[in-house]
Structure 1
């Protein structure tokens, strides 16, 4: 009897919607791997997976996104439809951008609705927070709202996504392009990660591209590979300006970019038809902004309010060191969940005053306004309860693994050791790591590596005075400038002031002399 009911149910579904229900577990009924990925670059598939993994690593409770009953239901069956229905659905969206349909687009639709169902469900949840930001900026500039799907294929709606090439944020801005469109990028803030500022910059960039091509599909292609490559493709095709006419003259990775864009629009608008449902995002449904006019550390907020650092980072990803570098006439915006804003305003005097001398050194270091950020240099997670260890880089080490070994943030490891954007390290290099005093015993053995190394660099050997100062022993050939370079944020003038050294005494610095260094 149950079998008869099930057969009738399948027949009704097929007659009513023209669809077939295919079990994920029955691989013989799905498209083969080769058919599914035809015309899809492996690098594109890997990018989706990488950004999804980055998103998972940023979640506080990953298990809640894997074990939910409705996710299991979502993954149980995969509907399949005929091409005519895909075409009809795309046409019924009445888009302002021409959405073509062919086998290449179909392959990308299958990628999103079959293989990457979990990622699409995650992005659907995140879109409830980010799409209103995109739509507001696009509508204000009278641009097609369909462009809001570009970050889906750029970053999988991960605001802290980083590509191997160095592109960052939801809209994947490279450093030069970000600076060109007035995004602030320095040691403390990277507005490529700011959902609002980066969206405004992306809108200006897309508008500039439209003034060149007057065709949104070509604009989308140029956003991916640059206008230079699109111009070359147009010339090589004999001056044709239709995307599909210049398709084979574009870089391989860009050939899939526009089809992926069309497929993303389809997958988001017809997710329910494919049995894909949003995974609820941890982002707050309503936020408000506060103008901050003096330097503020996230810890100062969290110690005085019932909000976590992770919650602040989620809605303020642009502050890469958990510091809002305001002051000296410069103000910044802090975004918070709406229900916390009143509490912050009522207690802001207490919040700003909390351990002010611990988090910020307000002494006058220089009269040069360009060095104003130096007064925040020592606050990157280094407080009085931290011990300083030195780790020697071994063969096969990478910065991310070293940070994980000591349970510290990669951003902090990078800051403590002045690592460049490429995070280049070499075997034998000494890296400074700060760990809680209570965990020194746990991490000491990991730091004291005594194997044979090459290119060993000279690293300061110090004796601890207290939680604030250390002693440094001067070596032969050293001066105050070379010693200061060993400590991020410290200048030779700082060492002179801490040790009562005058201009006339500088030349008398000698090997073996001990100097106080503030950490």
Structure 2
């Protein structure tokens, strides 16, 4: 079946690109042969004619936020490490010649030219999200060996292992607004073409091993069509159809930088981000960016399961949190492994839990069997949807109204909660939410940031009888929120190097970063600079 699907994909892609090939292959140099002179010429060209710089910071930030809010990161990293992840750290910019030289010295099979867009995203990783990148680098010891093995298996450039850095920030359960899922952000149709199983209980797009193998095969097939790695990476992001349209609209040109302006907005920044991520992963030490290592490592092994089993059965008998089992087995959507005697599945566990599982296997499968699998059947979906292991006792309950552009992952990041809990509390299916929808959220009442966000979310602007809500402009909404949140008195604070609104707010009792942002009319919290004067509200 996989071979049939594979053949369908190749035929489809070839049909999409046959006209493209006919127009562009005549007198084209071999794209896989990269000389030092041609690379230097490419660098000079891109520096002489920098391309439009689309703002993709928010997309990257959402992915990094989702990574920081996974169970493993929240439990394997010290609190001070997580706080540093929210801080902005100003680094001195280097001359362009230094970046160019370092990129050339990487001896990459994929060309790594430098331009202003690449520089912008290097700055994003090294400055704006420095702490989160340090945490993500700590996760590479677990994921990179998986990527490297698959890429080597299909004889692909090792640099492609950096794609999941920008696709998912190494969060195996992340779901994009468009519905792409997993480390490699597979769309449903592409995943099915490459043999990944997706049903009510399993989504192998979230399986690190199987999705990595599928991604490597997909990249191999794209290169067989285009023969140029920049175009391949762009096609991986937006699909071959969009790339072919961009080529046609550009008069048949088949160089990424020449079709740049005709590509979808997110894809226009994709190669610059890829180059920036490759640079940062290889030259972090030169920028004093050190991986933050987790307090406990994911040393794991797998075991074959041949019968239905619920994660809670495993957790209760092996003394392991359900959340940890979920982290290790993100492909199982409802905490159930739907294995049968004629269809087995893999369970991944910490290395020290493999032997206890084998020794107590009969006891584990029998534990509360009638509760989880009455009549030895999987319980109805409605019985397992909406379950959350998060203890809401003592937590502050708020109601959040979904805004345009929101996603479950983005909302979870705002309130520092897990996406799975948000989905469970509100019975969200397939990650689908709508603008205006009311969501229930529980936040830790001892966290100033989450409390401030809770209060802000609850503020209802006062609308006059003459002026309707739809007529109020965003600046008026901010003013109304600020008037409700503050008492009017303030003191001045001078921003220092390494400060963020969050760390500043922690220095003043009862003050939140949201209040500082509103009082100072700050649109982007990451744009404060050393020496800037900020008004800090004085609490009664």
TM exceeds 0.5?
Answer: yes
- Choose which of 234, 241, 246 in structure 2 pairs with 1:221: 234
What's the CA shift for 1:264? 0.3
CA distance in 1, matches of 2:255, 2:268: 13
SS in 2 for 1:302: helix
Cα distance change, pair 46–412 in 1 and its aligned pair in 2 (3 A): same
Shift of 1:141: 0.5
Q: Which residue pairs with 2:220 in the alignment?
A: 207
Match of 2:305 in 1: 292
Unmatched segments (≥5 aa) in structure 2:
1-49, 389-398, 441-540
- Cα distance in 1 for residues equivalent to 2:294 and 2:367: 32
Moved more, 236-245 or 55-64: 55-64
CA distance in 1 between counterparts of 2:199 and 2:222 reads: 27
Answer yes or no: is the 8 Å Cα contact 1:363–1:375 preserved in 2. Answer: no
C-alpha displacement of 1:349:
1.1
1:375 CA drift (Å): 6.3
Aligned to 2:183, which of 154, 170, 179?
Answer: 170
Which is bigger in relative contact order (C-alpha 8 A, separation at least 6)? 2
Match of 2:432 among 422, 430, 443: 422
Counterpart in the other structure of 1:485: none
**Distance verdict in 2 for CA 1:427–1:109, change over 3 Å:** closer
Q: Does the 8 Å CA contact 2:301/2:354 hold for their aligned counterparts? A: yes
What's the offset of the Cα at 1:425? Answer: 10
**Structure 1 residues 112, 377: CA separation in 2 closer, same or farther (over 3 Å shift)?**
same
Give the deviation of 1:47 after TM superposition. 1.7
Taking the aligned partners of 2:310 and 2:144, their CA distance within structure 1 comes to: 29
In structure 2, what is the equivalent of residue 146 of structure 1? 159
The equivalent of 1:27 in structure 2 is none
Deviation (angstroms), 1:171: 0.8
Tell me: CA distance 1:138–1:283, structure 2 relative to 1, closer, same or farther (3 Å). Answer: farther
In structure 2, C-alpha distance between the alignment counterparts of 1:150 and 1:301, rounded to whole Å:
34
* Pairing partner for 2:345 from 323, 332, 355: 332
Provide the C-alpha distance between the structure 2 equivalents of 1:90 and 1:426, rounded to a whole number of angstroms: 46
3-state secondary structure, aligned to 2:375: coil
- Does the alignment pair 1:303 with 2:313? no
Match of 1:134 in 2: 147
Q: Distance in 2 between matches of 1:122 and 1:69?
A: 8
TM-score scaled to structure 1, two decimals?
Answer: 0.64
**Which residue does the alignment assign to 1:378?**
383
Q: Are 2:269 and 1:259 aligned?
A: no
Give me the whole-angstrom Cα distance separating, in 1, the residues matched to 2:330 and 2:292. 21
Question: 2:10 maps to what in 1?
Answer: none
Q: Contact 1:292 / 1:331 at 8 angstroms: preserved in 2?
A: yes
RMSD: 3.7
Taking structure 1 as reference, are residues 352 and 212 closer, same or farther at Cα in structure 2, changes over 3 Å only? same
Q: Where do residues 225-374 of structure 1 align in structure 2 (5 Å cutoff)?
A: 225-281=238-294, 284-362=297-375
Do the aligned partners of residues 40 and 278 (structure 1) sit closer, same or farther apart at CA in structure 2, a change above 3 Å counting?
farther
CA distance in structure 2 between the aligned counterparts of 1:404 and 1:106, rounded to whole angstroms: 30
Q: 2:301·2:351 contact (CA, 8 Å) conserved in 1?
A: yes
Rounded Cα–Cα distance in structure 1 between residues aligned with 2:197 and 2:132: 30
Note if contact 1:79-1:275 (Cα within 8 Å) is conserved in structure 2. Answer: no
Structure 2 CA distance for partners of 1:243 and 1:395, relative to 1, 3 Å: closer
Matched residue of 1:123: which SS? helix
> What is the TM-score with the length of structure 2 in the denominator?
0.62
1:55 corresponds in structure 2 to 67
1:119 corresponds to which of 128, 132, 149: 132
Deviation at 1:312, TM superposition (A): 1.0
CA distance in 2, matches of 1:207, 1:143: 7
Give the whole-Å Cα distance in 1 for the aligned partners of 2:166 and 2:350.
Answer: 27
Find the aligned partners of 2:132 and 2:89 in 1 and give their Cα distance: 15
1:184 aligns with 2:189: no
Distance 1:382 1:102, change over 3 A: closer
Shift of 1:302: 1.0
